[in-house]
Amino acid sequence: MAAPTKRMIRYTLLRALQMIPTVLLVTVAVFVLIIIIPGDPVLSMLGYYADDVTAVPHEIYDRMFRELRLDRPIPVQYLYWLGDALQGDFGKSVVFRVPVIDVVLSRVPATLYLGTASLLIAIAVSVPFGVWAAVKNDTWVDHLASGFVLFGIAVPGFWFGMIVILVFAIYLGWLPSIGYVPPQEDFLRFLKHLILPATVLGLDVAANILRFQRTDFLDQLHQDYVRTARAKGLPGQLVIWKHVLKNSLIATVTVVGLNTARLLGGSTIIETLFSYPGLSRLLIEAIYARDFPVIQAVVLWMVVLVVIVNFFVDLIYAYLNPRIRYATA
């Protein structure tokens, strides 16, 4: 095992190093956000809409001006901001009057729970269903899968979400329609609040994944190596789940990766529809309230998340397709 493992470690380290410039570039973009916003940044930070300097008392304006280090050159401002950000200091929320980091961290768990639950539902539904549809190509199973994909892609999430609320929360009264309960408070109620939004979100993502999973699996099923594996006497199920699945997952992992970043960043529509206090809703609230430090922090979180998820997707690629490991290392 020595050689492949060493190559994998080398590849992982190289790929991790590549994240650093990407993340730095992202921080520059997020920092510039405050500068390019039309109007006086001090007033923006203080939550004023008009560029009316006279509306703010002098002392407050000057203190803010120095606090934001606007008297320094922009690159220096950036370095200070970055230094603070690395220590988790994104300033104070204009609206909540508490450190931004506390506001953001209070919303992260809700989004992570919802995102993870939806992702698990999506994978649990799409991968086996995709394999089944491909193996039973052109039978009722396959048609059912195609119907599901069509439904998932064509039907908007907010509409499906409303129907689900109507049926399960209002008509049947089985589950609550809105809100969130932290798991440490009451785990059962936490689950009850999670089921509907996670299912709506998960099935939407499942349709996306299934589309790729089925096509790619079907393609792999006709490869020569499948016939070789069967000629070796391996049982059909082993050939499918060991030989074909690994090669078919490359496309799937791409789609799962894209959706993971999306889900862990929070789904605006679903969080709004279910009044779910996640990051996306925080972002919307912050945008309405012109709470720029909060916007900065949430956007930074979402982008860094994409970078990290892509890192893991690349590692999985290298596991699935050994050629990638060798090309880089």
Partner 1 sequence: MALLDVRNLTVDFDLGAESLRAVDDVSFTLEPGEALGIVGESGSGKTVTALSIMRLLDPRARITHGRIWFDGQDLVTQDESAMESIRGRRIGMVFQEPMTSLNPGYTVGEQVAEVYRHHLRLSHAEARRRTIEMFERVKLPGAREMFNKYPHEFSGGMRQRVTIAAALACGPSLLIADEPTTAVDVTIQAQILSLLGQLQRDMDLALLFISHDLAVVSELCTRAAVLYGARLMEVGSTDAIFTAPRHPYTDGLINSIPQRGQPLQGVPGTIFDLRTPPPGCRFHPRCAHARPLCHRDVPEFTRSPANTPGERGHVYACHYPLDSSRG
Q: Is 232 in the site for partner 1 (CB under 8 A)?
A: yes
**Other CB atoms within 10 A of residue 282 CB:** 27
Q: 267 and 200 in contact (C-beta within 8 Å)? A: no
Q: 3-state class of 99 per DSSP?
A: strand
Token pair listed for 149: 């994909």
43 in helix, strand or coil? helix
Q: Which residue is listed with tokens 């799962």? A: 256
Interatomic CA distance for residues 7 and 318, integer angstroms:
10
Closest CA to 221 of 255, 251, 247: 247
Q: Closer to partner 1 by CB, 199 or 247: give it.
A: 247
Does 39 sit near partner 1 (CB under 8 A)? no
Nearer to partner 1, 21 or 235 (CB): 235
The single residue among 3, 17, 36, 170 that binds partner 1, judged by CB under 8 A, is 3
Single out the residue of 238, 241, 287, 312 in contact with partner 1 (rule: CB under 8 A).
238
Q: Is 1 in the site for partner 1 (CB under 8 A)?
A: yes
Minimum CB separation of residue 70 from partner 1 in Å reads: 56
- Smallest distance, partner 1 to C-beta of residue 129, A: 21
The sign of the dihedral angle between the CA atoms of 61, 64, 68, 69 is positive
Other beta carbons within 10 angstroms of residue 240's beta carbon come to 21
- Which of 87, 184, 231, 288 forms a contact with partner 1 (CB under 8 A)? 231
Q: Which amino acid is at 310?
A: N
Contact with partner 1 (CB under 8 A): which of 172, 188, 235, 288?
235
Nearer to partner 1, 116 or 254 (CB): 254
- Environment class of residue 90 by beta-carbon count within 10 Å: exposed (0-12), middle (13-18) or buried (19+)? buried
Q: Which of 166, 169, 173, 192 is nearest to 113 (CA)?
A: 192
Is residue 140 near partner 1 by the rule CB under 8 A?
A: no
Q: Per CB under 8 A, does 233 bind partner 1?
A: yes
Mark the segment that binds partner 1 (CB under 8 A) among 239-247, 263-271, 273-281, 291-299: 239-247
Q: Is 49 helix (H, G, I), strand (E, B) or coil?
A: coil
The footprint of partner 1 on residues 289-328 (CB under 8 A) is 320-323, 326
245-284 footprint of partner 1 as x/- string (CB under 8 A) = -xx-------------------------------------
| For partner 1, the closer CB: 163 or 327 | 327
Report, in angstroms and rounded to the nearest whole number, the Rg of the chain calculated over CA atoms: 24
CB within 8 Å of 75: residues ≥ 6 apart: none
Among residues 230, 258, 289, 299, which is the contact residue for partner 1, using CB under 8 A? 230
Stretch that binds partner 1, among 29-37, 154-162, 178-186, 221-229 (CB under 8 A): 221-229
Does the protein bind partner 1 through residue 73 (CB under 8 A)?
no
* 227 contacts partner 1 (rule: CB under 8 A): yes
Give the integer Cα–Cα distance in Å for 192 and 174.
9
Interacting residues with partner 1 (CB under 8 A): 1-4, 223-225, 227-236, 238, 243, 246-247, 320-323, 326
